[in-house]
Amino acid sequence: MASLSVSRPSHIFSGRLPAHSKPRMSGPTRIRMSLREDGPSIAVVGVTGAVGQEFLSVLSDRDFPYRSIKMLASKRSAGRRITFEDRDHVIEELTAESFDGVDIALFSAGGSISLEFGPAAVARGTVVVDNSSAFRMDENVPLVIPEVNPEAMRNIKAGTGKGALIANPNCSTIICLMAATPLHRRAKVLRMVVSTYQAASGAGAAAMEELELQTREVLEGKPPTCKIFNQQYAFNLFSHNASVLSNGYNEEEMKLVKETRKIWNDNDVKVTATCIRVPVMRAHAESVNLQFERSLDEDTARDILKNATGVVVIDDRESNHFPTPLEVSNKDDVAVGRIRRDLSQDGNKGLDIFVCGDQIRKGAALNAIQIAEMLL
């Protein structure tokens, strides 16, 4: 059998990901406290993908307690060995029976896999935390950012034998609402305009590899390899590759609109978005314009954000230092800066902010693990 090592510090599975995608080196080896008889049994679905690998990284970083862990993937990956926290595991083919005895399943294998196997897992008493878009707009499935709306899943616990589905929001939504929600709580957002600058990581490990390859090719004067996207990505930017709908918005933009309304439990909030792919490896950036019902000056907003859980403020006007994707890569916190009054709106009822967050981490894996922690 092929053997893969996923022990710290690297949790990368296939070949190699671009350098900027690799987790930072950790400090001295420490005794792991996560393998515990009183912990839940967990399964990672799509363990060979970029987010699946990040699941393992975050589980390890946060010492998430578990008594057993299953590594699940497609038939072509079954039988390979993977090392996690100094223990060897054999990757198993995903089947409905994979969830027998599993308390929590972390899914990141695409919507079609979630639709097929999510309900099968729930029927076996498993609580599924799903990273796809399959169930996000289902009114019976909570869509959760733990810092924003933990109450949406208050009646769900692992290990009770009662299965449930919980949806992880889209990465752009998570990164945006981590910053916008604390301000929304104070002054109530009436309208939000979001422009996103989205990294290759949002399209998976293969897109990250293609961006690195294209960069070398273009610098060497060669035509770029365009397999993941149908146009040059290196030294370029273009409209997000999601399908364009009849209203002119693409699916990524509509996710931001619909998911914000569901998470905030406010169907009246006006949201519009423009989503762009930029040649950045693994962290998204977003320009967010907010219109409020009540006055909120920029100094108060800055203080609110400085005290918000999971948010760090980088807002140094004197040195022109604000959030960048590189600064937040492999970081848990979402960074916010460029906090300023919107001069096009009267009074203090409008603000502009700039937000950066690691798409694979807080935008996907970390958010899911935080949900799982709330299930314990």
The answer to whether the beta carbons of residues 72 and 132 sit under 8 Å apart is no
**pLDDT-derived band of residue 17, with 50, 70 and 90 as boundaries?**
very low
Asked if residue 150 and residue 15 are part of one domain, the reply reads: yes
Asked if residue 95 and residue 48 are part of one domain, the reply reads: yes
Taking the C-alpha atoms of residue 291 and residue 172, their distance in angstroms, rounded to an integer, is 19
Whether residue 4 is contained in a domain is answered as: no
Q: Which stretch of DSSP H or E encloses residue 106?
A: strand 104-107
Indicate whether 4 pLDDT > 60.
Answer: no
Q: Which of 20, 176, 284, 356 is catalytic?
A: 284
Whether residue 111 is contained in a domain is answered as: yes
What local confidence, expressed as pLDDT, does residue 33 receive? 60
Q: State yes or no: is 171 an active-site residue.
A: yes
Taking the C-alpha atoms of residue 68 and residue 62, their distance in angstroms, rounded to an integer, is 16
Asked if residue 223 and residue 162 are part of one domain, the reply reads: no
What local confidence, expressed as pLDDT, does residue 34 receive? 78
Q: Which of 22-31, 133-142, 295-304, 352-361 has the lowest mean pLDDT?
A: 22-31
Q: What is the CATH number of the domain that holds 73?
A: 3.40.50.720
Asked if residue 152 and residue 196 are part of one domain, the reply reads: no
Indicate whether 30 pLDDT > 60.
Answer: no
Kindly calculate the radius of gyration of the chain based on its CA atoms and give it in whole angstroms. Answer: 21
Asked if residue 270 and residue 133 are part of one domain, the reply reads: no
Q: What is the CATH number of the domain that holds 216?
A: 3.30.360.10
Indicate whether 179 pLDDT > 70.
Answer: yes
Indicate whether 23 pLDDT > 90.
Answer: no
Taking the C-alpha atoms of residue 236 and residue 239, their distance in angstroms, rounded to an integer, is 11
Q: What angle do CA 266, 335, 134 make, to 5 degrees?
A: 45
Whether residue 287 is contained in a domain is answered as: yes
The answer to whether the beta carbons of residues 359 and 282 sit under 8 Å apart is yes
Whether residue 206 is contained in a domain is answered as: yes
Taking the C-alpha atoms of residue 175 and residue 168, their distance in angstroms, rounded to an integer, is 12
The token pair that represents 320 in the structure block? 């022109």
Asked if residue 108 and residue 202 are part of one domain, the reply reads: no
Whether residue 2 is contained in a domain is answered as: no
> What DSSP designation does 166 have?
E
What local confidence, expressed as pLDDT, does residue 32 receive? 54
Asked if residue 141 and residue 96 are part of one domain, the reply reads: yes
Domain extent at residue 240 = 173-360
Q: State yes or no: is 284 an active-site residue.
A: yes
What local confidence, expressed as pLDDT, does residue 14 receive? 34
**pLDDT-derived band of residue 13, with 50, 70 and 90 as boundaries?**
very low
Closest CA to 286 of 250, 325, 257: 325
Q: Which residues pair with 250 in a beta bridge?
A: 244
Indicate whether 136 pLDDT > 90.
Answer: yes
Asked if residue 86 and residue 60 are part of one domain, the reply reads: yes
Asked if residue 223 and residue 110 are part of one domain, the reply reads: no
Asked if residue 203 and residue 131 are part of one domain, the reply reads: no
Whether residue 5 is contained in a domain is answered as: no
Pairs from 218-227 (Cβ < 8 Å, separation ≥ 24): none
Asked if residue 104 and residue 198 are part of one domain, the reply reads: no
Whether residue 246 is contained in a domain is answered as: yes
User: Per the structure, how many domains does the chain have?
Assistant: 2
Whether residue 293 is contained in a domain is answered as: yes
Q: Give the strands of the sheet with 350-358, arranged side by side.
A: 238-239, 270-277, 189-198, 283-292, 350-358, 334-341, 311-313
**pLDDT-derived band of residue 142, with 50, 70 and 90 as boundaries?**
very high
Taking the C-alpha atoms of residue 149 and residue 262, their distance in angstroms, rounded to an integer, is 10
Closest CA to 234 of 252, 221, 249: 221
Q: Which of 20, 89, 171, 240 is catalytic?
A: 171
pLDDT in tens, 102-115: 999 999 999 999 99
Terminal Cα distance for the chain, rounded: 35
Asked if residue 300 and residue 159 are part of one domain, the reply reads: no
